[in-house]
């Protein structure tokens, strides 16, 4: 019962935090507010024991699967060299160089322990600052951060695993480490692809036979990341890469596009809820752990007759060292990519020094770092714990907080006016694609009209009606094409502006009519002229119609 009540409290606080962040007089990033609420909950007596293995199994697979599914594959392909360099060599270099830097700051710590701390801090969590980047950041930088965060968790955890084994046993083999890393990574990717390909194939067979029940489809889809993760972990491979590869595989198969519209709409809503709830609970749990971890860190410092300020100074120094290494590494990788693109007439451009700083600051640490460092074995009766475990946990949590605070306060300033022009490239591409689609439909109508005209002698009443409908549709498509041209070719003419205003007025009237209809529908139910089931059917139809109208309204260009 206690666990159920605790889960309900966390869900309530997650929803409350989303409301509170909008009501606060100052702009506060949602993750920081949730961490603060978690700290307040811990002070008030709400305690949660965090099981790292359960944490990784419950939260990480669906979040990575969702992020991989939403990753633009075109941009991932274009930036694959940069992403793999950031997720592989960059993590390895950070582990080694930052490990030596930590050993220089803390000579009493064995070098393998320093490598373990550097390895657990190397994975970035771009999801934590996704809401801070906003539309002012070039999409190339956003896609790089998203792709890096999908892949570097696995490489960071592999480095962390070998460093912990070396710290506890004193044994380490570079050749064995590289071989194991390759097997873990490739095995995880292969298993993720295999599991999700089999699931997509089975789903297509069921769809072909008419089994397209939305709740069943969505439930199976929600279980897929866990199936890929657990299958990979069961054979000793990377479950993280299995979840990432599975998400991309499901997207490339296009199986979701073959389901009915209800399934697609409900699936989109379900994944949005999973992303919001799981991310919120992660930061709430981090806040709940903070007071106890900070207390143990303070006790550790006092037992060594040192000032607590030295611990804070150590945390800041380690974070600055990692930032310096990240600036140098990202600059080297992006510089090489820009030189190669210029040499090969590619499209990648150097993002500038401000873009480089954004890429550096946005590489915050998050959930994977927390779960991994808490998984270090504790000393028990007759069992040796990991050397300096309490210090490593305290420092890792401190670096997570410092990186979040640094990103919160510096990203709004760094990203201000970073992009050129007022038009979002994504919005421009959407408008262009809409224009192409309208032209395609218009061309199809013209072909159909010409075909009917050539058969004038054999035309019947149905043919006459078809010609009339085609003429009306062509007029509608012509009006829509004129409205879309402004988004892709510049200023609209006076006639186009009038047409846009007329369309906006028409959509506003249609939406108002829907609101009036909903009120009347509720009155009919209250008067018992219709029952609840009838109201539900008609209300769903109105909801779909309203969604279409609102999408059309958003597609119209702004006019003064």
pLDDT, tens digit (0-9, with 9 covering 90-100), for 267-292: 888 998 988 898 888 889 888 888 88
Q: Which long-range contacts (CB under 8 A, 24 or more apart) does 204-207 make?
A: 204/255, 204/258, 207/255, 207/258, 207/259
pLDDT level of residue 40 (50, 70, 90 thresholds)? very high
Tell me what pLDDT residue 424 has.
62
Structure tokens at 267: 């699936």
* pLDDT of 58 strictly over 80: yes
Instruction: Return the SS3 of 380.
Output: strand
CA distance 538 to 517: 10
Place of tokens 């941009």: 75
Average pLDDT over residues 218-233: 93
Q: What is the DSSP letter of 345?
A: T
Which of 43-47, 147-151, 247-251 has the highest average model confidence (pLDDT)?
247-251
Which of the residue ranges 161-170, 232-241, 436-445 would you say has the lowest mean pLDDT?
Answer: 161-170
Q: What Rg do the C-alpha atoms of the chain give, in angstroms?
A: 28
Tell me what pLDDT residue 283 has.
87
Considering only CA atoms, which of 213, 274, 269 is closest in space to residue 243? 274
pLDDT level of residue 223 (50, 70, 90 thresholds)? very high
CA distance 142 to 450: 47
| Structural contact between residues 133 and 355, judged by C-beta atoms closer than 8 angstroms | no
pLDDT level of residue 495 (50, 70, 90 thresholds)? low
CA distance 492 to 557: 10
* pLDDT of 423 strictly over 70: no
**Selected residue with higher pLDDT from 173 and 22:** 22
Average pLDDT over residues 76-101: 89
Average pLDDT over residues 128-151: 75
Handedness of CA 143, 238, 32, 299 (dihedral sign): negative
pLDDT level of residue 347 (50, 70, 90 thresholds)? low
Region of residue 553 (phi > 0: left; psi between -120 and 50: alpha; otherwise: beta): alpha
* pLDDT of 248 strictly over 80: yes
Tell me what pLDDT residue 71 has.
86
Tell me what pLDDT residue 489 has.
56
Tell me what pLDDT residue 222 has.
93
**Average pLDDT taken over every residue of the chain:** 83
Q: Distances from the Cα of 543 to the Cαs of 511, 523, 532, 547, 550, in angstroms?
A: 11, 18, 16, 6, 10
Average pLDDT over residues 366-379: 81
Average pLDDT over residues 15-19: 90
Q: Report residue 481 CA to chain centroid gap.
A: 33
Place of tokens 């036979």: 209
Average pLDDT over residues 205-229: 89
* pLDDT of 420 strictly over 70: no
State residue 380 phi and psi, 5-degree precision.
-135, 180
| Structural contact between residues 300 and 388, judged by C-beta atoms closer than 8 angstroms | no
Tell me what pLDDT residue 430 has.
76
Tell me what pLDDT residue 457 has.
57
Q: Distances from the Cα of 338 to the Cαs of 165, 417, 418, 425, in angstroms?
A: 39, 22, 18, 20
Average pLDDT over residues 251-274: 86
* pLDDT of 422 strictly over 90: no
Q: Distances from the Cα of 63 to the Cαs of 56, 223, 395, in angstroms?
A: 11, 12, 25
Tell me what pLDDT residue 78 has.
84
Q: What length does the chain have?
A: 560
CA distance 300 to 275: 36
Angle at 155 between CA 396 and CA 115, to 5 degrees: 45
pLDDT level of residue 350 (50, 70, 90 thresholds)? confident
* pLDDT of 201 strictly over 80: yes
* pLDDT of 35 strictly over 70: yes
Average pLDDT over residues 91-99: 91
Alpha helices in 388-526 (DSSP H): 389-415, 425-454, 461-489, 494-526
Considering only CA atoms, which of 155, 117, 91, 95 is closest in space to residue 387? 117
Tell me what pLDDT residue 172 has.
64
CA distance 164 to 143: 32
Alpha helices in 136-260 (DSSP H): 139-169, 174-208, 214-234, 239-253
**Selected residue with higher pLDDT from 233 and 30:** 233
Instruction: Return the SS3 of 383.
Output: strand
């Amino acid at each position: 019962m206690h666990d159920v009540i605790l889960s309900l409290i966390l869900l309530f606080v997650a929803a409350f935090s989303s409301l509170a962040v909008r009501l606060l007089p100052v702009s506060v990033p949602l993750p920081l507010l949730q961490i603060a609420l978690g700290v307040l909950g811990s002070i008030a007596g709400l305690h949660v024991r965090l099981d790292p293995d359960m944490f990784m199994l419950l939260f990480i697979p669906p979040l990575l699967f969702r992020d991989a599914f939403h990753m633009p594959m075109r941009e991932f392909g274009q930036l694959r060299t940069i992403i793999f360099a950031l997720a592989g060599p960059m993590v390895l270099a950070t582990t080694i160089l930052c490990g030596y830097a930590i050993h220089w700051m803390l000579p009493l710590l064995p070098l393998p322990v320093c490598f373990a701390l550097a390895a657990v801090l190397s994975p970035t969590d771009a999801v934590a600052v996704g809401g801070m980047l906003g539309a002012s950041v070039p999409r190339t930088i956003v896609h790089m951060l998203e792709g890096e965060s999908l892949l570097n968790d696995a490489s960071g955890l592999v480095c962390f695993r070998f460093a912990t084994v070396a710290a506890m046993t004193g044994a380490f083999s570079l050749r064995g480490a590289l071989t194991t890393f390759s097997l873990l990574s490739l095995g995880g990717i292969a298993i993720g692809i295999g599991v999700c390909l089999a699931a997509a194939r089975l789903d297509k067979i069921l769809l072909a036979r008419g089994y397209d029940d939305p709740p069943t489809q969505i439930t199976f889809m929600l279980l897929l990341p866990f199936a890929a993760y657990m299958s990979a972990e069961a054979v000793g491979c990377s479950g993280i890469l299995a979840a990432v590869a599975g998400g991309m595989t499901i997207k490339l198969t296009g199986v979701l596009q073959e389901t009915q519209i209800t399934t697609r709409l409900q699936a989109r809503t379900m994944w949005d809820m999973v992303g919001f709830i799981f991310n919120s609970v992660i930061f709430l749990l981090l806040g709940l752990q903070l007071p106890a971890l900070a207390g143990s860190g303070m006790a550790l410092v006092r037992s060594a007759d040192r000032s607590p300020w030295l611990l804070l100074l150590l945390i800041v120094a380690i974070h600055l060292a990692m930032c310096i290494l990240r600036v140098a590494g990202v600059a080297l990788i992006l510089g090489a990519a820009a030189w190669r693109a210029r040499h090969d007439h590619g499209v990648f451009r150097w993002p500038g020094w401000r873009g480089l700083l954004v890429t550096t600051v946005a590489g915050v640490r998050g959930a994977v770092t927390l779960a991994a460092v808490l998984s270090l074995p504790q000393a028990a009766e007759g069992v040796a714990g990991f050397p300096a475990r309490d210090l490593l946990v305290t420092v890792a949590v401190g670096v997570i907080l410092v990186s979040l605070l640094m990103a919160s306060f510096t990203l709004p300033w760094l990203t201000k006016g970073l992009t050129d022009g007022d038009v979002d490239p994504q919005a421009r591409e959407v408008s262009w694609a809409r224009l192409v689609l309208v032209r395609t439909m218009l061309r199809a109508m013209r072909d159909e009209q010409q075909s009917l005209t050539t058969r004038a002698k054999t035309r019947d009443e149905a043919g006459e009606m078809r010609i009339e409908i085609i003429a009306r549709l062509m007029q509608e498509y012509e009006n829509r094409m004129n409205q879309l041209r402004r988004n892709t070719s510049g200023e609209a003419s006076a006639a186009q502006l009038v047409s846009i205003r007329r369309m906006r007025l028409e959509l506003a009237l249609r939406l108002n009519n829907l609101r009036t209809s909903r009120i009347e529908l509720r009155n009919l139910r209250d008067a018992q002229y219709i029952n609840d089931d009838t109201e539900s059917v008609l209300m769903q139809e109105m909801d779909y119609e309203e969604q279409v109208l609102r999408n059309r309204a958003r597609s119209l260009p702004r006019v003064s």
